[in-house]
Structure 1
Amino acid sequence: MIGLANAGGELSAHNVRDIVAALDAGLNVASGLHQRLDSVAQITEAARRSGRALFDARSFPYQLSVGKGLPRPGRRLLTVGTDCSVGKMYTTLAIERELRKRGIPADFRATGQTGILIAGSGVPIDALVADFISGGAEWLTPGREDDGWDLIEGQGSLFHPSYAGVSLGLLHGAQPDALVLCHEPLRPHMRGLPHYSLPSLKATLESNLQQARLTQPDVVAVGIALNTSRLTPQAAIDACKAAEDALGLPCEDPVASGVERITNQLLQCFPR
């Protein structure tokens, strides 16, 4: 496995050397970068002579149409965040697990390279041509009639200058009935941008709800997921309590305490 998350998604010279060595040692190679493995001659030659496979998680072989914004049956939840890498994927997986534990049909829908490797399928939403981002989200989550949930892995943040476009397209295409807001309390600034501070939880939630209403006017927020891994146990409890008081929603750390209360809120808002 090579290069799952670097800015710009390009292979470096040392990446190429490592990949060639891995292929010559008899290993298959998977990459999550934007630059395709087969775009480098040394890599394709090493794969040919070793008979090994190359897998690009951000490659999407299917034809997409632009998003239509037409209502479709089924329920969908999307995780959104104050920033990149604040726990959206893990939170989505945790809610899928909790719903299934309760006997409710639920499916994790991967939109990023790591999620695709976990799920075995998905749409690399940030690798699509911009006009097709919302269409890609619609393709990923077609209508369902089993009273179940599509749980859609969020990407980026509406407040991140580098990735807000992807976040917005995904938000429109997902047509989410429910949002869960993800946040890391001690993060000093937007990831990779020290000159941009993080938005408040309230501003982030209000903005996501406003934008989501374009394609799903009845969208509601059902919870807050905090990544409290850098807090003491008491500070984590205090941070969750402060978030609950500020937004009036259940707040949990999906790793430390699970997502039972968030799921309770979801099912209260959307009874079967």
Structure 2
Amino acid sequence: MNVAILAHEQFPDRAKTAVGILRYADYDVAAVLDRETAGDRVADHLADERVQDAPIVAGIDGVEGPLDALVIGIAPIGGGFEESWRADVRGALGRGCDVVSGLHYFLESDEEFRTLAAEHDCDIWDVRNPPDDLTVSAGRAADVDADVVLTVGTDCSTGKMTTSVELVEAARERGVDAALIPTGQTGIIVEDWGIPVDRTVSDFTAGAVERMVRERGADHDLLVVEGQGSITHPAYSAVTCGILHGAMPDRLVLCHEAGREAIHGYESFPIPPLPQVVSLYEDLAAPVSAADVVAGSLNTSHLDDGDANEAIVEYATTLDAPATDPIRFGTDEILDAVL
């Protein structure tokens, strides 16, 4: 499927859905839409051979050739729809393209978009629209035969989805029957299934994660649950706790960005010292299902190789656990600890 990815003013640093699709999704990316970097190519900003290269254009009218879908590749705080994107969504629907959105604002509920989709026989997939039959957890996720690993973070956008996907792919390369449990919009788009836990009724969050773990637990030996948010985040801690208790994981991998000291978008809230973050996750897990932080994943994308190595050594020492940057150096250290 040929897609264009909308990432206006956010590509690549604050467009994690766009980057995730470029790296992992089974799509052919025709273009990235970003007014600020139009005229560049993806490769000018992401030096990773696994990331698809594509032109960056200012809007949907600049996308050449056949196009099957437009994907909203950014999710601003609160998940709202910015009116400056309307012309691109309108243009995509007008040329017969489906639209995929991970926003909390449902495009299907927008009268203009719904009318255009009907006129041009297009589908709108609001990825964050959860099933309507969710319920509370029964506390049964630990009953599955599979080992369950959960990625947790010191903040949002620290690499939990990336680490989860990389772990699954690396485990499969070693011959382990592994599967990803997608809990956020990017993972759901990449895997084409999952439940958006940050859109569930609060009482049902743990139950949604439990449902996915139990659905896949009999079919695989290793399940990697994609974490969300952070237990210390002033806005998103509730969903983090729901995933932790719903998944009842055997082991945890702590994801962090090198040098980040405060919560992104909430800079008056410092990230606690890493040992305290580890203790918070382990102590919170213990009453439901004990789990230790067995490894660390560190995002060093903004550092050169020398500084990245130093940062990883410091991170591993602080955690007293193996650590690596899975994109830069592979997942061996994390995977060994997980397995």
Alignment correspondent of 1:138: 210
Mapped to 1, the partners of 2:162 and 2:301 lie a distance apart of: 13
Q: CA deviation at 1:241?
A: 1.1
Match of 1:168 among 241, 246, 252: 241
Displacement after TM superposition at 1:146 (Å) = 5.7
Cα offsets for 1:117-168 (capped at 9, x unmatched): 0111111010001110000110111063466011000000011101001101
Q: Structure 2 matches for 1:120-131, cutoff 5 A?
A: 120-131=192-203
How much does 1:86 deviate? Answer: 0.6
Offset of 1:20 from its aligned partner? 1.6
Q: Report the 3-state secondary structure (helix = DSSP H, G, I; strand = E; otherwise coil) of the residue aligned with 1:158.
A: coil
Say whether the 8 Å CA contact 2:179–2:220 is kept in structure 1: no
Out of 285, 291, 304, the position equivalent to 1:212 is 285
CA deviation digits over 1:39-91, x for unaligned, max 9?
11111111111111101110123411101213412211000010000100010
Aligned-residue RMSD, C-alpha: 1.4
1:244: how far off? 1.8
4+ residue runs over 6 A deviation: none
Partner secondary structure for residue 293 of structure 2: strand
The answer to whether 1:15 aligns with 2:108 is no
Higher RCO, 1 or 2 (CA under 8 Å, sep at least 6)? 1
- Structural mapping, 1:78-97, within 5 Å: 78-97=150-169
- Structure 2: gaps of 5 or more residues: 1-70
Partner Cα separation in structure 1 for residue 92 and residue 244 of structure 2: 38
- 1:239 to 2:300 alignment: no
Q: Supply the AA of the counterpart residue of 2:185.
A: Q
Moved more, 204-213 or 1-10: 1-10
Whole-Å separation in 1 of the counterparts to 2:161 and 2:179:
13
Equivalent positions of 1:194-233 (< 5 A) are 194-217=267-290, 219-233=291-305
1:5 and 2:5 aligned: no
**Alpha-carbon displacement from aligned partner over 1:5-49 (angstroms, at most 9, x marks no partner):** 111112222233321221011111111101111211111111111
The AA in structure 2 aligned to 1:109 is: I
Q: Does 1:40 find its partner at 2:113? A: no
1:34-73 pair list within 5 angstroms: 34-70=104-140, 71-73=142-144
> 1:188 deviation in Å?
4.2
What residue number does 1:261 align with?
A: 333
CA distance in 2, matches of 1:244, 1:204: 14
Residue range with higher mean Cα deviation, 109-118 or 195-204: 195-204
Task: From the two aligned structures, give the one with the greater strand fraction.
Answer: 2
User: TM-score normalised to the size of structure 1?
Assistant: 0.94
- Percent identity, aligned pairs only, is 36
- Equivalent residue, structure 2, for 1:270: none
Tell me if the contact between 1:186 and 1:230 (Cα under 8 Å) persists in the aligned partners.
Answer: no
Q: TM-score, with normalisation over the residues of structure 2?
A: 0.76
